[in-house]
């Protein structure tokens, strides 16, 4: 295809927050981007319209990442629209905080389904279908190191994401594909802000030596580095992007 873009990226959970910022950043960097979402169709279509307006190339792809067949369809859509896939950004995630003593089965099951099984589903598909020379970036969390009370299940899913990152980097030997994770600290999105008082948000914002919350664009910059030419020699690493909180 003569007008095929040079590189094609899939971003999961791209309808808002960090995933939306990553999508805009990669589109601005010249990637054709497949913008995945689960339920927020209006937000996803609005973001896609904004990217096209700015001269970028994108399509939306609805899929619950916890459903393996639906994940295969994201890759199908990318291949038929843009000819292949070079970059996977595994960003879709959910957070349900509760002390282990109080956590219900639904909190456990939903976080395992989206954060762990969802990441596994996309990694398996990418391992089979990414073009040589590609890049994979998984979203972990600095909570895999901070390990605060009430974050037990969430941190466990992100520790598992980091384990998958290290193993897949080794398994893709010979294909010139890097696999890394970015582990944000507190970042101003719905996932972080929902259910927290203003006082708590202010206190958490001051924990990092840089004394502010991360913005989605701060995380997108770290992902763009790993997905772009300057990240070529970084492989099997977890990059904590958190203002120095840990
Ligand atoms: P948001 O809640 O703001 O956005 C989450 C995105 O994921 C939405 O676009 C949502 O789309 C999508 N999503 C949720 N479930 C699914 C699913 N089953 N399949 C496909 N998409 C889904 O979260 P953030 O932007 O804050 O978080 C992005 C990532 O960064 C997550 O992995 C999170 O764990 C990680 N992170 C965030 C931190 C923070 O402080 N914000 C800190 C550390 C890590 P829809 O509405 O369509 O379902």
What is the overall mean pLDDT for the chain? 97
Pocket test for ligand 1, best of 33, 90, 191, 214 (most atoms within 8 A of CB): 191
Query: What pLDDT, on the 0 to 100 scale, is given for residue 146?
Result: 98
**Cα–Cα distance measured from residue 246 to residue 231, given in angstroms and rounded to the nearest whole number:** 22
What does pTM read for this prediction?
0.98
Pocket test for ligand 1, best of 10, 11, 12, 13 (most atoms within 8 A of CB): 13
Task: Kindly write down the DSSP assignment for every residue of 193-222, as one continuous string.
Answer: HTT--HHHHHHHHTSSTT-S-B-HHHHHHH
The tokens for 11 are: 């971003």
Q: Which runs of consecutive H residues, i.e. helices, occur in 112-151?
A: 118-129, 143-146
Phi, psi of 214, deg, nearest 5: -65, 150
Query: What pLDDT, on the 0 to 100 scale, is given for residue 81?
Result: 98
Query: What pLDDT, on the 0 to 100 scale, is given for residue 6?
Result: 80
Q: pLDDT exceeding 90 applies to what percent of the chain?
A: 98
Closest residue CA from atom 19 of ligand 1: 64
Cα first-last separation, the chain: 46
pLDDT tens digit string along 2-46? Answer: 455 589 999 999 999 999 999 999 999 999 999 999 999 999 999
Q: Which residues line ligand 1 (CB under 6 A)?
A: 12-19, 36-40, 64-66, 91-95, 114, 118, 139, 141, 184, 186-187, 189-192
Extended strands (E) in the chain: 8-11, 32-37, 57-62, 87-90, 135-139, 178-184, 238-241
Residues 6 or more apart in contact with residue 175 via CB below 8 angstroms:
130, 132, 133, 134
Residue 31 to residues 15, 143, 198, 222, 232: CA-CA distances in angstroms?
Answer: 17, 30, 37, 16, 16
**Cα–Cα distance measured from residue 72 to residue 83, given in angstroms and rounded to the nearest whole number:** 15
Is 8-188+216-241 a domain of CATH 3.10.100.10?
A: no
Query: What pLDDT, on the 0 to 100 scale, is given for residue 5?
Result: 53
Is-catalytic flag, 37? no
**What mean pLDDT do residues 98-122 have?**
98
**Cα–Cα distance measured from residue 93 to residue 85, given in angstroms and rounded to the nearest whole number:** 21
Q: Which atom from ligand 1 is nearest to the alpha carbon of 16?
A: 9
Q: How remote is the CA of residue 58 from the centroid of ligand 1, in Å?
A: 19
- Which one is catalytic: 75, 120, 151, 154? 154
Please, which pLDDT band fits residue 83 given cuts at 50, 70 and 90? Answer: very high
Q: Is 105 left (phi over 0), alpha (psi -120 to 50) or beta?
A: alpha
Query: What pLDDT, on the 0 to 100 scale, is given for residue 1?
Result: 43
**What mean pLDDT do residues 210-236 have?**
98
Please, which pLDDT band fits residue 121 given cuts at 50, 70 and 90? Answer: very high
Residues 6 or more apart in contact with residue 170 via CB below 8 angstroms:
236
Residue 178, pLDDT > 90, answer yes
**Cα–Cα distance measured from residue 151 to residue 189, given in angstroms and rounded to the nearest whole number:** 17
Q: What count of other Cβ atoms lies within 10 Å of the Cβ of residue 88?
A: 30
Query: What pLDDT, on the 0 to 100 scale, is given for residue 43?
Result: 98
Q: How remote is the CA of residue 140 from the centroid of ligand 1, in Å?
A: 11
Pocket test for ligand 1, best of 24, 64, 93, 147 (most atoms within 8 A of CB): 93
Q: Which atom from ligand 1 is nearest to the alpha carbon of 66?
A: 18
Maximal CA-CA distance, the chain: 58
């Amino acid at each position: 295809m003569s007008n095929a873009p040079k590189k094609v990226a899939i971003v999961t959970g791209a309808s808002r927050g960090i995933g939306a910022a990553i999508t805009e950043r990669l589109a601005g960097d010249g990637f054709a981007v497949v913008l995945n979402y689960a339920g927020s169709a209006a937000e996803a279509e609005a973001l896609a319209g904004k990217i096209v307006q700015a001269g970028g190339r994108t399509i939306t792809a609805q899929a619950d990442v916890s459903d393996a067949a639906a994940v295969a369809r994201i890759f199908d859509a990318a291949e038929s629209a843009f000819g292949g896939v070079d970059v996977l950004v595994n960003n879709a995630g959910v957070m349900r905080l509760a002390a282990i003593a109080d956590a219900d089965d639904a909190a456990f099951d939903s976080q395992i389904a989206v954060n762990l099984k969802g990441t596994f589903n996309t990694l398996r598909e990418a391992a089979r279908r990414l073009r040589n020379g590609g890049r994979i970036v998984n979203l972990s969390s600095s909570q895999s190191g901070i390990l605060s009370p009430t974050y037990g299940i969430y941190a466990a899913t992100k520790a598992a994401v980091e384990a998958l990152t290290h193993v897949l980097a080794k398994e893709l030997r010979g294909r010139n594909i890097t696999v890394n994770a970015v582990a944000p600290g507190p970042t101003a999105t719905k996932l972080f802000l929902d259910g927290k008082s203003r006082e708590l948000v202010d206190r958490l914002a001051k924990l990092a030596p840089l004394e502010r919350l991360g913005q989605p664009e701060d995380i997108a910059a770290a992902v763009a580095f790993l997905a772009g030419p300057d990240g070529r020699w970084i492989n099997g690493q977890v990059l904590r992007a958190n203002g120095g909180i840990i």
